[in-house]
């Protein structure tokens, strides 16, 4: 875990940030055109992605909810260890969808790490 900590795991224990909308309405809008996106997400668990995360050449932020019952924490750790310029935010009180409440601060992170 020491190598992982050096790669930038941050424990985010602050209150939830709001990004201006409800998660429920966003999920509804995202699935309004059909279930293809949901199916594609499920297939990503068992099929190759078509690229290696080791080849990503831009900063990447991963956010993992401590109460996520869909994606195991080991997956976030693996992604962090195998993505060259990655940072992992651990959000112990968030679940799989609640982690989206970090969108506002994630956008700040993106602005900070943008190479444009």
Residue that is written with structure tokens 């080791």 in the block: 54
Q: What is the pLDDT along the chain (116 residues), one digit of tens a residue?
A: 333 444 555 555 444 444 445 556 666 776 778 888 778 878 888 899 899 999 999 999 999 999 999 888 899 999 999 999 999 999 999 998 888 888 889 999 999 998 76
Question: Quick one: pLDDT at residue 8?
Answer: 57
Instruction: Please report the pLDDT score of residue 16 as a whole number.
Output: 44
What's the confidence (pLDDT) of residue 20?
47
Residues 53 and 55: their CA atoms lie apart, in Å, by 5
Sign for the pseudo-dihedral over CA of 45, 50, 55, 60: negative
């Amino acid at each position: 875990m020491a190598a992982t900590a050096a790669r930038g795991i941050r424990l985010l224990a602050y209150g939830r940030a709001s990004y201006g909308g409800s998660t429920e309405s966003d999920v509804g809008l995202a699935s309004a055109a059909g279930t293809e996106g949901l199916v594609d997400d499920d297939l990503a668990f068992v099929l190759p992605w078509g690229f290696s995360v080791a080849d990503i050449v831009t900063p990447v932020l991963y956010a993992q909810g401590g109460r996520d019952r869909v994606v195991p924490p080991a997956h976030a750790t693996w992604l962090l260890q195998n993505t060259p310029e990655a940072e992992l935010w651990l959000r112990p009180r968030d679940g799989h969808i609640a982690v989206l409440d970090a969108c506002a601060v994630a956008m700040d992170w993106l602005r900070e790490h943008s190479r444009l």
